[in-house]
Amino acid sequence: MRGTRHTAGVDRVAPGGYILDMTDLVTEAPAGLDPVLQILIAPHPSLKQRAIPVLPSDRQSVSALVPRMFDAMYRAPGIGLAAPQVGSRLRLVVVDLMPGDKRQPIVLINPEIVAVSTELFTREEGCLSLPGQYADVTRPAEVRVRYLDEKGAKRDISADGLLAACLQHEIDHLDGVLFIDHLSPLKRNMIMRRLAKEQRLKDL
């Protein structure tokens, strides 16, 4: 998820994140061999595929992928990134709202939304896979998410505000859903046409 722009009528309060003990692993790109991960741009077909659960046998792959995902997200820059956005089929999400401009990374493996509020909230969203495109999206105002951390421990996180929107946005990616899929067909098509035009101009 790309950080939201400041537009009248949309809440911009960013609550604190969930601090993990792997901060030293994600402050810069892995040294040496691996290039920066490429973030896929819509309508890349991989963005519409449903991700598969991470298994214990995937631990090494996840350990290698997580710092590279954070590096790509920070460089973009963004506040959330899902594995399908970098071509991986694993159910893996990284998030960092950077409250107070300090990195507080969250790693969510096999995240699952287990509770949502009846109250809804509309917030402007953007996406690293739809660069430069923004739209108001209505979602539950509060959520509770169950997931595994980078050590495989079971965790729950309750969130509201920007963090709630970001978690829902990134978990959507794991199911092949983009934020524009929450819009009317007219608005969705307008954004996709605008994105395609901007990408063509960029490639000139």
Q: What letters, b where the CB count within 10 A reaches 16 and e where it falls short, cover 41-67?
A: bbeeeebeeebeebeeebeeebeebbb
Closest CA to 108 of 142, 70, 57: 70
Task: Express each pLDDT in 125-139 by its tens digit.
Answer: 999 999 999 999 999
Main-chain phi, psi angles of 117, to 5 degrees: -80, 155
Q: Is residue 142 part of a domain?
A: yes
Q: Is residue 151 part of a domain?
A: yes
Radius of gyration over alpha carbons of the chain, in Å?
A: 16
pLDDT at 16: 28
pLDDT at 202: 85
Range of the domain at 99: 23-203
Reply yes or no on whether the pLDDT at 69 is more than 80: yes
State the Cα–Cα distance between residues 139 and 122, nearest whole angstrom.
Answer: 6
Q: Is residue 17 part of a domain?
A: no
Could you tell me the CATH number of the domain that includes residue 85?
Answer: 3.90.45.10
Identity of the residue numbered 112: E
Instruction: Name the average pLDDT for the chain.
Output: 87
State the Cα–Cα distance between residues 128 and 84, nearest whole angstrom.
Answer: 12
The pLDDT-based confidence of 4 (bands split at 50, 70, 90) is: low
pLDDT at 174: 98
To which H or E segment does residue 197 belong?
Answer: helix 185-203
Reply yes or no on whether the pLDDT at 31 is more than 80: no
Task: Express each pLDDT in 141-154 by its tens digit.
Answer: 999 999 999 999 99
Strands 80-82 and 92-95: antiparallel
Q: Average of pLDDT values for 150-174? A: 97
Q: How many domains does the structure of the chain reveal?
A: 1
Both tokens of 65, joined, read: 């992928």
Q: Is residue 53 part of a domain?
A: yes
pLDDT above 70 as % of the chain: 85
Q: Is residue 48 part of a domain?
A: yes
Q: Is residue 12 part of a domain?
A: no
Identity of the residue numbered 83: A
Residues marked active site are found at: 170
Q: Is residue 193 part of a domain?
A: yes
Q: Is residue 1 part of a domain?
A: no
User: Between 99 and 31, where is the model more confident?
Assistant: 99
Both tokens of 113, joined, read: 């939304």
